[in-house]
Amino acid sequence: MTQAVPTILILSVIANFLALGSSNLRALIRAVAIQGLLLSVFPLAFAHSPSLRLAMLVAVSATVKGFVIPATLFRALREVHIRHEAEPYLGLVPSVLLCAVGTGLALLFAGYLPLADEHRGLLIVPAALSTFLTGFLLLTTRRKAISQVTGYLTLENGIFVFAQLLHEAMPFLVEVGVLLDLVVGIFVMGIVMNHIQREFSSLDTERLSELRD
Amino acid sequence: MYTLIIVPLVAALIAFVLPSDRFRPHIVAVTAAIHLVCTFRLRVGDVSEWGWLAVDPLGYLTLGVLSIVFALCSVYAIGYLRVRADRPNRIFTVCLLAFLAMTTGVTLAQHLALLWVAMEGATLSTAMLIYFNRNARSLEAAWKYLMIGSVGIALALLGSLFIGYAAFLGAGGKASLLFQDLLTNSEALSRPWIRAGFVLLLVGYGTKMGLAPLHTWKPDAYGEAPGLIGALLAGGMTNCAFLALLRIFRITVAAGEGAFARELFIVIGLFSMAVAAVFMAGQRDFKRMLAYSSVEHMGILVLGIGVGGLATFGTLLHVVNNAFTKIVLFLSAGNIHRAYGSKRIEVVSGALRRLPISGALFLTGFLAITGSPPFGPFISEFTILNGAIQTGHFISAALFLIFLIVIFIGMGATVLAVVQGVPSEKADTGFRDSFWKTAPMFVSLALVLMMGIWIPRQLYSFIEEAARTLQGAP
């Protein structure tokens, strides 16, 4: 099954570029949802002996990342009546270029890290680092709370990819880490987003700029 | 040992179910008292059944400080929530108790994943505490805290996974993430992964500690949250994050990457002090000033560990001193803020006249934290300086001294503007000092003074033991 691994990872790295390059919030949410779905099936392709436990992790993560969160974000988008342009601090083209450079560096850096025999040649480490970096870029260079949440999701996706390397050796760390981070993080962000919306009647974090030195 | 975590959680449940706002603050105080008693009845070396929770010297030191800080803050909370009786306090008290449970978990956790889970829980519970005032400014602070905090927590998770992979390469499928196992098998850990993991964890938990350049949530959070929350964050939460860093540091040293880790600690420590010095000079907002002071002292802590030698002892001593002094500063600043309805020094002046107790304590707290004798921080900062010179870190020692002096001057200007002069008639909310809101500060100041004049023998030998474990002893 591991032949499918590089394909899935390359597709998800392409989703990174789609997410960073989309000028429309809907397209951004869609790109991140597709990536979430793709990566959710990734453990099945990667694991040597798929178990029920793994299948459950896959099901939960696919539902949350592929459907629940995107649906919530789309609903928030409908309700707040903000313009749907992404409005980044850093232009779309520079951020895509930055991501390309980052992906290259991730490939180089991953070359220095030793891997177990069964993990060689699968592109897992560079894909994880590149996705993590994309999430970081989305979080820091975007103005709207919604795109920041998608950034956080992408960050999570990056960790999820890397975590698969350890799933058989330390299932507890991986499952608890991934699920807790995802569910609780999004839950709390949802609450805060709700309050932002009520307080400012908008989800533009640009207005959150009163506190400065 | 479980009681320490279970009691606050049960109390949180009770506080959540209770319909009336009146008794909730008392629940917090009673829980804090139970927590304090249980903490002092613990013995170093106690281990839970699975070995995932245990009391070791380092964790116990942090836990003891945390428990005292929380108890003092809970007494203050009774007075504070009485003044703010107009606001429902259900979420506030529940989050306070959850915070206590989670941070206790951090101090006892002996497993890399459990440590991370507890840290994440503590972060989430404090986000709602920062938002207590429910206005646009506190919302902004809570949002920034969450965004920066979750990047930090994500980095820490990735770093934990890296350490996990280092162990996996060393031991195959049998790899364990218990700190003791990681230390015993440290020879087998894959060093490139340890290095990369250490950097990620330093940045990740460093965010929680508020080390520059990831400190940007701190001035906003400390500025907008009630003074009490500032005290809890600066005296409890940041120490827990520091403990997490110390645990990773031990593993990194055992794996043979000690020089690399120390170098990073020194650089990031000095950089934090420099950032704090720059932003404290001419700071017009006295609560934000305290936040930068916290950035500075977190920098001092990692610097001290990076320098090593005698400074390790000084650093652990400073953990205690800094926490107790921060209580005095944040709580008195909270009182002053409430009495004037502003925290800008253009508006606030003459605090010594209007709030004789809080004003005097604010001034004394400033003298203590900047390292004036005879208070505790003087001893610990001096020990760190001494350690830096003994181990031959002359440039670090010189920079350390220069930053301390610059910060003393910068902070002094703001503090003096607040306490001196004549209070203006316009800015007056009618709030004055009261017993509940000043007593905890006196206790805390007494502790700071005691630490400067006489360190209890037991505490001394205890800190020595903790410092030995950091120096590479098993």
CA-nearest residue to A146 within chain B is B147
pLDDT digits (tens, 9 = 90+) for B22-41: 888 899 999 999 999 999 98
Cα–chain center distance at B141: 18
Task: Tell me the chain B residues in contact with residue A162 when contact means C-beta distances shorter than 8 Å.
Answer: 158, 161
Confidence (pLDDT) at A1:
57
| Under 8 Å between Cβ of B65 and B319 | yes
* B343 CB within 8 Å of a chain A CB: no
Mean pLDDT of B339-359: 89
| Full domain range(s) for residue B372 | 2-470
Whether residues A166 and B165 touch (CB distance < 8 A) is answered with yes
pTM: 0.93
Tell how many helices (H) and how many strands (E) occur in chain A: 8, 0
pLDDT value at residue B434: 84
How crowded is the C-beta side of B138, counted as CA atoms within 13 Å? 17
A5 close to B (CB below 8 A): no
How many domains, in total, are found in chain B? 1
CA distance A132 to chain B (A): 9
A105 lies within 8 A of chain B by CB: no
Amino acid A212: pLDDT = 64
Mean pLDDT of B69-74: 94
Does the distance separating the beta carbons of A173 and B127 come in below 8 Å? no
ipTM above 0.95, yes or no: no
Residue B174: predicted pLDDT: 74
Percentage of the residues of chain B whose pLDDT score is greater than 90: 57
Average pLDDT over residues B150-167: 90
Report which DSSP code applies to B253: I
* Residues B161-170: tens digit of each pLDDT: 999 899 888 8
The whole-angstrom separation of Cα B332 and Cα A57 is 49
Which parts of chain A sit beneath pLDDT 70? 1, 81-87, 184-185, 187-189, 192, 198-213
Nearest-by-CA chain A residue for B116: A177
CA distance A116 to chain B (A): 6
Nearest CA among A112, A110, A138 for reference residue A124: A110
Per-residue pLDDT tens digits for B440-462: 999 999 999 999 999 999 899 88
Please tell me if residue A166 touches chain B, with a CB cutoff of 8 Å: yes
For the segment B326-343, the average pLDDT, to the nearest whole number, is 91
Residue scoring higher pLDDT (B249 or B137): B249
Give the whole-angstrom CA distance, residue B231 versus residue B365.
13
The minimum CA-CA distance between B102 and chain A, rounded to whole Å, is: 14
Check whether B321 has a pLDDT greater than 70.
Answer: yes
State pLDDT tens for residues B222-233. 988 888 999 999
A chain contacts of residue B117, beta-carbon cutoff 8 Å: 176-177, 180
Give me Rg for the CA atoms of chain B. 21
pLDDT > 70 fraction of chain B, expressed in percent and rounded: 99
Nearest CA of chain A to the CA of B58: how many Å? 23
State yes or no: pLDDT of B474 exceeds 50. Answer: no
For residue B455, give both structure tokens. 């360190």
What value does the mean pLDDT take over residues B119-133? 86
Are the beta carbons of B113 and A170 separated by less than 8 Å? yes
Q: Is A174's CB within 8 Å of B161's CB?
A: yes
Q: Is A156 on the interface with B (CB under 8 A)?
A: yes
What is the rounded (10 degree) CA torsion for A198, A201, A204, A205?
A: -40
Q: Please say if the pLDDT value at position B259 is more than 50.
A: yes
User: What is the DSSP code string of B328-363?
Assistant: HHHHHHHHHHHHHT--BTTT---HHHHSHHHHHHHH
